[in-house]
Amino acid sequence: MGKFSGFYRLSPEERLRLVKQERSLTGDETKVLTDSGALEMGKADRAIENVIGAVHLPLGIATNFVINGKETLVPMAVEEPSVVAAASRAAKQTLPDGFKAEADESIMIGQVQITGIEDINTSLKNLEVNKKEVLNKASEYMKHVEQYGCGARDFGAKAVQTDRGAMIIVNFHINVGNAQGANMVNTTLEGVSPILEQLTEGKAKLRIVSNLASERKAKASAVWKKELVGKAAIEGVLDAHEFAKRDIYRCSTHNKGIMNGIDAVAVATGNDWRSVEAGAHTFAAMGRYQPLTHYYKNENGDLVGEIELPLAVATVGPAISSSPTAGTSLKIMDVGSSQELAMVMASVGLANNFAALSALGTVGIQKGHMKLHARNIAAYAGARTNQEIDRVAEILTEEKNFNVERAKEVLERVREE
Ligand code: HMG
């Protein structure tokens, strides 16, 4: 491994040359990495470490979304067939009313862990009595963003007994505006720690944002009318929802289907989808791990769907500006704030969940999914033109046979047609 010591000091081109040599990559295999399109190597090399290239994901537009009365085009970056189509179809079935959505203020929770405390009660009391001084100190680190409404709003402190003795955890509530907020929060926590140490006579250890942004949630709801989607779909969704409420194995996949849509928008807009995922699943696990969506029939027998989850997402910040596609995706979506983006994401998550449950609860997921995946299989079997791909996919779907070998036989027949 000595060859790779100091790898980071090389240029992207030199790194790729070394990897190519070490792994006997062909010209084509390296070209796919360096054919980086909009993300030129210099920009990529400033974004993360040890860069040798860039990867690409398809970017689709989910259509038919009306959110709080506003027609919205939704960019989704995802590798899985049928996710974009499913969101679009589910959204179409909510029209003309569409989705109603709302989002909290951008309050992030920042945590400071304090250890080595002699007198827990006195330390807690000192923190409470000096709250104003602590918050003023914290705000010194956010002066540059006060104009955007950012700032340390409050904090709470609690004692926790651990295997390593008593600790105090101080949870700050910090408004981070349209940023995701992790950097802003972590800088503020590190700056305010000395005063916390003085007041508790303890030692500040971890100073870090929490990804369980439970004060920064988004909600969305929609009604799927029985005349439009049919009784079978409504009953199927309600049965699927009950299954997920009672069975954690099903609930995991239920929530994955929601995050199919939410993550796709997060990736398209250059957001940290790992923090979005962490927040969503820990929120779902508060108490007992439960579905992030809920469904019930209204007085007309129509299906009402609701979603609520933490969504700490940004429309400004270094990660957004370093992504070549984020700005364009946000412009396509025509969102002007973190809250608006969160409302779109919540609506998409609900739409994808409804689409999956209504398909699962009636005709099964493969009918729709494989109809779209068949085009991938046709291309994988060697179909080149769109006409060949569509014709082979059509025959595979009719036969309900999505085997690649069968696709190759069908392709030969199509070429003879
Ligand atoms: P369909 O009935 O063939 O669609 O559904 P349609 O022809 O009636 O068209 C209705 C609308 O769907 C269209 O309206 C489009 O918006 C959209 P229009 O624009 O024409 O006015 N649509 C498409 N959009 C883009 N490309 C297409 C396309 N076709 C229709 N090719 C569909 C086809 C796949 C949408 C449907 O069968 C469906 O929604 N199936 C569910 C598939 C699904 O949910 N896939 C998600 C990935 S799998 C997943 O979520 C994981 C899972 O494990 C989660 C869980 O377990 O809960 C399942």
> In ligand 1, which atom is closest to the CA atom of 80?
47
Question: What pLDDT is attached to residue 76?
Answer: 98
Q: What pLDDT does 191 receive? A: 98
Which residues fall within 8 angstroms of residue 35, CB to CB, at 6 or more apart?
none
For residues 80-85, give the mean pLDDT: 95
Provide the 8-state DSSP code for 375.
Answer: H
| Known active-site residue 247 | no
Q: Is 261 in the pocket of ligand 1 (CB under 6 A)?
A: no
Residues 369-417 have pLDDT tens digits of 787 789 889 999 999 999 999 999 999 988 888 889 999 999 999 999 8
Q: Is the CB of 176 under 6 A from ligand 1?
A: no
Assess contact for 258 and 350: CB atoms under 8 A: yes
Pocket test for ligand 1, best of 66, 83, 88, 373 (most atoms within 8 A of CB): 88
pLDDT at 327: 93
- Residue 1 has a pLDDT of 62
Q: Could you confirm whether 272 is annotated as catalytic?
A: yes
pLDDT confidence of residue 43? 86
Distance 186 CA to ligand 1 centre (A): 41
pLDDT at 366: 79
Nearest in space to 87 (alpha carbons), one of 355, 369, 364: 355
Of the pLDDT bands very low, low, confident and very high (cuts 50, 70, 90), residue 36 is low
User: CB of 229 closer than 6 A to ligand 1?
Assistant: no
Count of Cβ atoms closer than 10 Å to residue 69 Cβ: 10
Do residues 160 and 167 touch, judged by C-beta distance below 8 A?
yes
Query: Is residue 275 in contact with ligand 1, taking CB distance under 6 Å?
Result: no
Quick one: what percent of the chain has pLDDT higher than 90? Answer: 86
Using alpha carbons, select from 362, 245, 237 the residue that is nearest to residue 305: 237
371 is catalytic: no
Catalytic residue, chosen from 131, 256, 297, 408, is 256
The CATH fold assigned to 107-209 is Alpha-Beta Plaits (3.30.70)
**pLDDT digits over 322-336, tens only?**
888 899 999 999 999
| pLDDT surpasses 90 at 196 | yes
E strand spans, 37-134: 59-67, 70-77, 100-103, 107-115
- Identify the residue whose C-alpha is closest to ligand 1 atom 39: 86
- Which residue, 346, 336, 338, 345, is CA-closest to 314? 338
Cα-to-centroid distance, 315 and ligand 1 (Å)? 28
Where does residue 235 rank: exposed (0-12), middle (13-18), buried (19+ CB within 10 A)? middle
Whole-number percent of the chain with pLDDT over 70: 100
User: Mean pLDDT over residues 208-213, rounded?
Assistant: 98
Taking the C-alpha atoms of residue 54 and residue 69, their distance in angstroms, rounded to an integer, is 38
Domain spanning 2-104+216-364: which CATH class is it, in words? alpha beta
Whole-structure pTM value:
0.94
List the domain boundaries for the chain: 2-104+216-364, 107-209, 367-416
138 C-alpha vs ligand 1 centroid, how far in Å? 48
One of 1.10.357, 1.10.8, 3.40.50, 3.30.1600 is the CATH number of 367-416, namely 1.10.8
Backbone φ/ψ region at 101: left (φ over 0), alpha (ψ -120 to 50), beta: beta
- The region of weakest confidence among 52-56, 163-167, 239-243 is 52-56
Report the amino acid identity of residue 63.
Answer: T
Q: How far is ligand 1, taken at its centre, from the CA of residue 171, in Å? A: 43
The one catalytic residue among 215, 263, 272, 340 = 272
Q: Are strands 107-115 and 203-209 parallel, antiparallel or unpaired?
A: antiparallel
To the nearest whole number, what is the mean pLDDT of the chain?
A: 95
Is position 140 annotated as part of the catalytic site?
no
Give me the mean pLDDT over the 27-56 stretch: 87
Separation CA 338–CA 266 (nearest Å): 12
CA 261–ligand 1 middle distance (angstroms): 12
- Which pLDDT does position 117 carry in this prediction? 94
At position 121, the amino acid (one-letter code) is N
> 391: closest CA among 407, 369, 414?
414
Q: Is pLDDT at 182 greater than 80 in this prediction?
A: yes
